[in-house]
């Protein structure tokens, strides 16, 4: 890539950001389309968040992705929040229009698109969602508009209950939150059509861990693991072995990036190129 005085900037902010795959997939996609932009990751400490937002305006940074721990706190410094993201209470994508900062959440849209593209029928289905953190929150809100019922489980019971109550109130969904333990998971899996792992269990380097024992799975499940490193977690491998349809987290990562890319540039990037660059990078690691 060649940079000049005309090169414009997109970025990611979070704390930490050293592990992020976003620059790995964004810069090749920008170069592929001949767009004069560069994508950079910035480590922004929580006590510097407002100053960072002022910097977006001052420096004319055209688009900003937001990751942990800033997705909720940054909202109060922005000018316009898309209605669904306002309900969700978290954003991950900001567009700078001449200093006016608009925001939306492409995590939720990216997750839903990944499931639909993988052939997962959402209508009338029952979901067991493991985890009540940021990824679970986005998935929970967006799926609540499509599925019949969601059960959220988390090792911190109160987190699961609070998320379920909020989604029920804001989205009118059939949902309940419960403590994550073996007996509850086993019971709820019996009637579940879709199992989603939105916890970090099984993520590199602890690749031999899984949130659910293989013996508890059944072949009629669609199993989605939001973890993308490794590309196939132990959960996905064991689910495939008993006949489940499966989906890893890489498509969700790429899809949320594609949606942001289109919003910021008006161009559609090569999603396969973005995916290949991440796979290549993870292979080198």
Q: What separation in angstroms does the CA of 52 have from each of 6, 151, 159? A: 22, 37, 29
Residue with tokens 């414009």: 8
CB 276 within 8 A of CB 29: no
Q: What is the dihedral of CA 235, 241, 243, 246, to 10 degrees?
A: 40
Looking at 6, 71, 102, 186, which residue is catalytic? 71
For residue 248 the two structure tokens come to 């890893």
Read out DSSP for 19-34?
T--HHHHHHHHHHHTT
- Reduce the DSSP state of residue 101 to 3 states and report it: strand
Asked about 71 being catalytic, the answer comes back as yes
Residue 271, CB-side half-sphere exposure with 13 Å CA sphere = 17
CB 75 within 8 A of CB 91: yes
Beta bridge pairs of residue 179? 154
Rounded CA separation 192/221 (Å): 7
Rounded CA separation 35/54 (Å): 25
Q: Supply the residues annotated as catalytic.
A: 71
């Amino acid at each position: 890539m060649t940079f000049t005085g005309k090169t414009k900037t997109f970025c990611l902010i979070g704390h930490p950001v050293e592990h992020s795959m976003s620059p790995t997939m964004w810069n090749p996609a920008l170069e592929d389309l001949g767009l004069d932009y560069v994508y950079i990751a910035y480590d922004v400490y929580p006590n510097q968040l407002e100053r960072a937002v002022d910097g977006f305006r001052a420096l004319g940074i055209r688009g900003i992705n937001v990751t942990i721990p800033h997705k909720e706190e940054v909202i109060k410094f922005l000018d316009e929040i898309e209605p669904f993201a306002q309900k969700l209470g978290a954003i991950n994508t900001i567009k700078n229009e001449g200093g006016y900062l608009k925001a939306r959440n492409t995590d939720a849209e990216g997750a839903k698109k990944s499931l639909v593209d993988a052939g997962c029928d959402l209508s009338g289905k029952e979901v067991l969602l493991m985890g009540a953190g940021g990824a679970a929150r986005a998935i929970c809100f967006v799926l609540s508009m499509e599925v019949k019922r969601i059960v959220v489980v988390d090792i911190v019971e109160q987190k699961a209950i609070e998320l379920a109550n909020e989604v029920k109130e804001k989205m009118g969904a059939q949902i309940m939150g419960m403590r994550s333990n073996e007996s509850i998971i086993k019971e709820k899996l019996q009637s579940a059509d879709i199992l989603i792992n939105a916890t970090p269990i099984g993520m590199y380097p602890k690749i031999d861990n899984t949130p659910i024992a293989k013996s508890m799975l059944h072949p009629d499940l669609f199993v989605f693991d939001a973890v993308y490193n490794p590309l196939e977690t132990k959960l996905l491998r064991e689910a495939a072995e008993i006949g489940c349809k499966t989906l890893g987290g890489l498509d969700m990562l790429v899809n949320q990036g594609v949606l942001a890319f289109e919003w910021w540039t008006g161009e559609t990037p090569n999603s396969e190129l973005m995916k290949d660059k991440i796979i290549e990078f993870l292979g080198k690691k």
